[in-house]
Structure 1
Amino acid sequence: MIRTGAPRRLGVPSSEARLRFDTELQELGGGPRRRLLMVDDEPAFELSFYCGTCPLLFRRLEAAREKLSLESVQERLTGALADPDDGGVIDAFGALLPEGEYLPLLLSVEPRLVIPGKEGDYFSGEQVTTWGIDQFWGLPEYPHTPYYRTFETAVDADAHLYEFIVPMVPPTWNERGRVEEYVASMEQGTVPTAVAISTLDVCQPSLGLGEDPSVHWGLTHFLLDGHHKLEAAATAGRPVRLLSLLTLGESLAAAEDCARLPELRARPRSVRSTGQPTKQV
């Protein structure tokens, strides 16, 4: 299930936003620019580099320790939103974001919790197949956080869409009692709603790095509200509704790529097999 609204102008001046995007030099005197997601003026996540040929990245930094839930809309999020504009939720969370163009997406997701380096980890699996291991460290990229995988599908024969939900704080910080309450309500049929700010990064490897040199479309949802809901859904094997506010100005994707997301996200899930056509599951 996916519903989308028209692109909307949301947000406040960057200096007033609790969450914003920024860049900084990696080291004094030069070096590649780090692309950052900032929370309360502190670098919370390092994101994919601007070059477009580097691997997809979301790496949790030490300042990522704050959730951005809003008490004013909690009642509206206890069940499934029927429309992206339902109940003023977009405007409420828009006040946390930097001014810009956003595409609202209302998705149904079935999250699966992934631990870096363990089974199902994108960074030590699909990414290594395309880029190989990091040439300096001799290791796969490491995101420094558990995260959720939700969906993937073929874009075309040479490109694949991978979707992730990244919590602002690790699931181990969640309150056990609240997670168990959500598990119980989901087992009774409740489908709550979470909220995220999202990026689409289209990353194309240089030739000769890995065995499957495909283009990776990384749709990454940074969770603003719903940390307990996502863990409960992963535990219970139940769906949640996700209201995604996709930033059009800060994604590493062309406007026409972002415009394709509703159609791509509505396709059947399919897994990319190395060097083989994708397989629907």
Structure 2
Amino acid sequence: MTATLEAPVPTAIDAAVRLSGVRKSFGHGPRAVTALDGIDLTVAPGEFVCLLGASGCGKTTVLNLIAKLDKPSSGSIELTTTRPAVMFQEAALMPWLTAARNIELPLRLAGVKRAERQTKTLELLELVRLGGVGDKRPHELSGGMRQRVALARALASAISGNGGEASSLLLMDEPFSALDAITRDVLQGELLRVWKATGTAVVFVTHDVREAVRLGQRVVLLSSKPGRVVQEWDVDGLSQAAESARIDEINARLREVISSHAAA
């Protein structure tokens, strides 16, 4: 079977998500901790943006706010999709459901008719190169295969939340960090292939500069707590030599940010 999931036709929408002056504090009074302070970020439909920064800089907090799992203390977040999908470090699959049923779940919750969701599920399984394992349960799959199922489920959620249009949004929180180096490398390539096939906008959180430059079209560096946008780089379509130079440049800037925070 050949996957027939088509890349969406671009629309006139200029942003999949836009954050303006977003600030997030936890707690109240003198014990309040400011995690984010004045984040401005726009992700275009179909764009792949990597959020980079040291541990604790607020990268995951940004994703939680975009996903509506939490609310900003101030500022605004505009979404052109009502159901941004989230993929975490762990696959978090329902262990009693088969791979196909896990993928089908968000489509069922969105009210997609049975025949249509079964067809879409088969297409998504093919898209992530798991066409023959739809009847397997999570414990029968390798870690990399479980993450492929989680990716297909996230795509099902993103597509069902916005009718499959280009403004659908996928939020990824270090989804490959728990995998071995070889599996991680393979899945990074697979993610790029799937992203190009679907046209879904991606916000990808990582602390790995090389991963950010390999995957993203744009890399956004956050400062240490409170998180602010320090610098952005266009990394789309770089030659091998330019990519290596950009990695060195971003690494140097990241070390500078971490050092300045430690000295504060």
Normalising by the residue count of structure 2, what TM-score does the alignment of the two structures yield? 0.26
Q: Tell me which protein shows more helix as a share of its residues.
A: 2
TM-score, length basis structure 1:
0.25
- More strand by proportion, 1 or 2? 1
Q: Which has the higher contact order (CA 8 A, sep 6+)?
A: 2
